[in-house]
Amino acid sequence: MKIPSRIFSFPRFLKILQSLHLPTRPAGGNVKQVRSKTSDPAAHARHTDAVELFGKFYPCDDHTNVTPKILSKVGKSLQNQRNHPLWLLKERIKDHFYTSYLSRHRNPLFSVYDNLSPVVTTEQNFDSLLIPPDHASRRKGDNFYLNQSHMLRAHTSAHQRDLIRAGLNAFLVFGDVYRRDEIDKSHYPVFHQLEGVRLFTKYELFANVQHGEELHLFEKGYRTSCKQESHTLEAVKLLEFDLKQTLNKVVTHLFGKGLDTRWVECYFPFTHPSFEMEIKFQGEWLEVLGCGIMEQQLVNSAGAQDRVGYAFGLGLERLAMILYGIPDIRLFWSEDERFYRQFQVTHIDQKVTFQPFSKYPPLVNDISFWIPHEGYEENDFYDLVRNIGGDLVEKVALIDRFSHPKTGKMSHCYRITYRHTERTLTQEEVNATHRDIERSSVEKLGVEGRF
C-alpha cells in the first residue's frame, strides 16, 4: 500500500509550523552544553550557565535538571529511523489512519506530525492542558527541566492546544517524551508516544443519527472563564463510542483479532471522562494507552468553540514490545546489528518476531546508605545510576528501607542489576562502576554510605 508522506502542501505545512512557533528539528539535532566549569559529566548540567539545544540557549536556574545522558538522546528521533521497530510501528499506524479515515474530499483526515521539537514551555506541557500550578505532575523529581520556563516534553499532549489553534481538526503526533522514572525492563527516561486528536462539529457528530439535526452538542446554559457549558448526553456517548471504536480498530489492525483487552476508567486533568486500555500479555494487564473526551475549556481556549472532541495517547514502546516480542526497553537504543537487522522489512506489514539473542549473565550488587533528612529524591539516585552506569544497568530496585530506632535516620538499600545486552560483563568492570556510583551518591546526594 502506498503511504502518502505528507498531507499538506509544503507552504501550508510551513505556515502552520510558523504559527506554532515550534521549530522543526534539524536532522541529528545539535545538542551541546556550554561553558562547563567541571569535568564531571554527572554534575554537568547543574554547573553550566546555559544548556544549548538545537542552536538555542536556555539559561540554567534552580529548575535545571537535564543530564548529559538525557541530552545525548534528544534529536535521535527513533520514530524517524527507517526500519527501526518504532518507525515500523509508526508506519503501520499511519497506514491504518490514512486508509480508514478520509475527508469529504477523499484526502486523509488525520494530519501527521513526527518532527515537532521535544523542547516545550512549561505552559505548553501543563497550563495549556489545564493542569493546576500546584499539580503533582509538575514535580522536578518527575520531569526534565531545561530551566523554569522550558522542559523536555513529558507527553505529546503538550502540542494539543497549539495544533488545534493552528486550525487542525484531526491530527496524529509521533514523538519522543521524557520522564524521570524508575529503572527496569519496561521503563526508560525517554520513550515515544502517539497523540491523536479529533474534533467534530455538530453536523459531523450527528451525521449518521436519525433526527440528528434536532440534537445539540451543548446543553442550554452559559459559558464563563471558569464554567464550561456541559456536553449533551448524546454528544458524550457518541464521542465515547467513536473514540473507543477508533482505538479498538487500530489495536486490531496491529495485533489481529483475539487479543485480550479491557477498558478502565481513570483520570487526566484535560479529559473527562478518561479511560485507559490494557492488553493482557504474558498473564499481566499492561496499560498501553490513555484517552478521553476533551474538556471543553481546552477546546475553547484553542479557538474551536463550535466543536467537541476527543484525544488519545499511545505508548509506542509498550505496543512494540508486545507486538514484536522485544523483552527489554533498552534494546530500542541498541546499535547492535543483531537487533536492528531483524526489522529490515521489505513491506511494513511483514510479520516480525524478534529473536532475542542469548541473554548475557547479570551481575547483581547492592548499595546501602543513610539518606539525608531533607531533599533526597529517589529519582535523583536513579538519574545518577543512569549517568554513571548507562545502559549497563538493567534494573534498580529499592529492596529495603530501615529507620534507625534511636537516631531516626532512614537507610535505603538498592539492588542494582548490571547486564550488557551485547556482551558478558566482567566483575572488575562492574565493580569500578559500582564504586563510582557509591562515591557519587555521597558527593552529589549527600547520603552517608554504608558500603
Nearer to ligand PHE, 96 or 272 (CB): 272
Closest CB to ligand PHE: residue number: 313
Nearer to ligand PHE, 68 or 309 (CB): 309
Please, where are the H alpha helices in 314-377?
A: 316-324, 337-340
Nearer to ligand PHE, 214 or 265 (CB): 265
Q: 361: which DSSP letter? A: P
Buried b (16+ CB within 10 A) or exposed e, 392-424: bbbbbeeeeeeeeeeeeeebbebebbbbbbeee
What span, in angstroms and rounded, lies between the C-alpha atoms of 451 and 444?
16
Tell the residue number behind the cell numbers 464521542, with chain if given. 239
Alpha carbon 232 to chain centroid, angstroms: 32
Nearer to ligand PHE, 41 or 269 (CB): 269
At its nearest, how many Å lie between ligand PHE and the CB of residue 375?
A: 28
Nearer to ligand PHE, 60 or 294 (CB): 294
Nearer to ligand PHE, 29 or 315 (CB): 315
Nearer to ligand PHE, 312 or 343 (CB): 312
What span, in angstroms and rounded, lies between the C-alpha atoms of 37 and 63?
18
At its nearest, how many Å lie between ligand PHE and the CB of residue 279?
A: 16
Which residues does 51 contact at the CB level (< 8 Å), separation at least 6? 33, 34, 45, 57, 58, 60, 64, 66, 71, 146, 147
Which residues does 130 contact at the CB level (< 8 Å), separation at least 6? 269, 270, 295, 297, 298
SS3 for 97? helix
At its nearest, how many Å lie between ligand PHE and the CB of residue 156?
A: 7
At its nearest, how many Å lie between ligand PHE and the CB of residue 23?
A: 22
At its nearest, how many Å lie between ligand PHE and the CB of residue 133?
A: 18
Nearer to ligand PHE, 247 or 385 (CB): 247
Tell the residue number behind the cell numbers 495517547, with chain if given. 313
Q: Are 290 and 274 in contact (CB under 8 A)?
A: yes
What span, in angstroms and rounded, lies between the C-alpha atoms of 398 and 371?
13
Nearer to ligand PHE, 168 or 388 (CB): 168
Longest CA pairwise span in the chain (Å): 76
Nearer to ligand PHE, 310 or 381 (CB): 310
At its nearest, how many Å lie between ligand PHE and the CB of residue 178?
A: 11
At its nearest, how many Å lie between ligand PHE and the CB of residue 391?
A: 24
Q: 332: which DSSP letter? A: G
At its nearest, how many Å lie between ligand PHE and the CB of residue 354?
A: 25
At its nearest, how many Å lie between ligand PHE and the CB of residue 257?
A: 26
SS3 for 359? coil
Q: Give the H/E segment covering residue 238.
A: helix 233-255
Nearer to ligand PHE, 267 or 360 (CB): 267
Nearer to ligand PHE, 268 or 382 (CB): 268
Residues in the chain: 451
Q: Are 183 and 393 in contact (CB under 8 A)?
A: yes
At its nearest, how many Å lie between ligand PHE and the CB of residue 193?
A: 6
| Residues at the site binding ligand PHE, with contacts judged by CB under 6 A | 155, 157, 268, 271, 274, 290-292, 311-313
Buried b (16+ CB within 10 A) or exposed e, 15-44: ebbeebebbebeeebebebeebeeeeebbb
At its nearest, how many Å lie between ligand PHE and the CB of residue 176?
A: 13
Buried b (16+ CB within 10 A) or exposed e, 96-131: bbbeeeeeeeeebbbbbbbbbbbbbbbebbbebbbb
At its nearest, how many Å lie between ligand PHE and the CB of residue 197?
A: 8
Q: Are 125 and 154 in contact (CB under 8 A)?
A: yes
